[in-house]
Amino acid sequence: MYRLILLFMFIGLTSCGQTPEEQKMIDEIKRKQDSMMNTPEMKEMMKTVKEQEKLYEEEKNNKSKEENTTSKSNSNDDWYWKNTMASENDRFDDWSNGDTDIMMTYRMKPGQQKPKTLKIGTITSDGDILFDLPDNVLTQTELEERQNILFYDIQDQSSLNYSNGKTGILANASLFVMKGGKQIGTLTSGNSERVTLNLVHQSALYSGDEGYLIYWAYVNDDCAIVANEDWKGDVRRDGTNTIEVKTNVTYELNFKKGWNLVKVEVIGKYPLDHERGIEMSWFKNHRHTIINNRPNDSKYYFRSYPNY
């Protein structure tokens, strides 16, 4: 209490003119104040105040970071572009991985440690994407084998009709990119960073982000896969509400002997209401067709492995 009285007296006296006696008193109060500020109790109190101020600033900064992270995650854009680059005119402008090989992979057999591969192109040290498809390819499996289905978007797989189903096929929707025998990433092609990732992951296969993916398939002889399935049911994704949808999936894959370019289109979508406001949807239509050439708006997407 005595210290508080001295402090108030000091404030009152310094707010107006002083007589010599008052100045002497002020000097005495200053001396006592300095002495008070240097006591162990006061030093401990000031230390506590500084620590509380530091904690407050840290909490404020963390809150700001969380708000920024939430804002970004709501759009999903960061996730789709993570470790990803897109080509322009069949070239990666920011390529820094040197000369690499573009590889297709065969299905692994029991006891294999890594899959057998087939080189079908290169990415040069300048970032140019070059394909050199071999004339003759050793296929491993038959067209009608269920394990060869790349996209499990048909609810009733028995509705897939095969022509010359015993024909051998090799097809990868996502290609390996390898350097020195080590896989450093994957390569896909299409017109959307979202679709080219969604369609090669079963957990995101039903997403309604619109666009297309294209990929190469080799067959030993002329053959076909044809289907047209309408489906109606209740669907949801993690964190979303349940809604009723009507979907249609068509396969019109009339393969010719040798290499074929396959296009998978996502057309139309049902928006889903997510509990955290994240943009999610369910597809309306999938179209699987054979095309003659890569569309003009198609790009290549390289997704590097984080630890490379």
Q: What are the distances in angstroms from CA 28 to CA 3, 9, 25, 212, 215?
A: 13, 11, 5, 84, 89
Nearest to 91 by CA among 47, 149, 130, 55: 130
- DSSP-assigned beta bridge partners for residue 189: 214, 300
Given a cut of 50, is residue 3 above it in pLDDT?
Answer: no
Give CA–CA dist 97/123, Å, rounded. 9
Distance CA 51, CA 57 (A): 10
26 pLDDT higher than 70: no
115 vs 3, more confident:
115
Q: What is the largest CA-CA distance in the chain?
A: 115
CA dihedral 240, 241, 242, 246 (to 10 degrees): -70
149 Cβ contact partners less than 8 Å away, ≥ 6 residues apart: 157, 160
Q: Is the pLDDT of residue 55 over 60?
A: no
Domains of the chain, by residue range, sit at 2-72, 133-304
Q: pLDDT tens digits, residue range 225-274?
A: 999 999 999 999 888 999 999 999 999 999 999 999 999 999 999 999 98
The beta strands (E) that lie in 98-222 are given as 100-105, 117-123, 129-131, 141-142, 161-163, 168-171, 175-179, 182-190, 211-219
Confidence at 69, pLDDT banded by 50, 70, 90: very low
Dihedral angle over CA of 116, 121, 122, 128, nearest 10: -150
pTM of the model: 0.74
| Position 18 pLDDT exceeds 90 | no
**Coil/strand/helix, residue 279:** coil
Q: pLDDT higher for 297 or 4?
A: 297
Residue owning tokens 């029991």: 110
Cα–Cα distance measured from residue 109 to residue 132, given in angstroms and rounded to the nearest whole number = 27
pLDDT in tens, 174-191: 999 999 999 999 999 999
How many Cβ atoms sit within 10 Å of the Cβ of residue 117? 17
CB distance 129 to 121 below 8 Å: yes
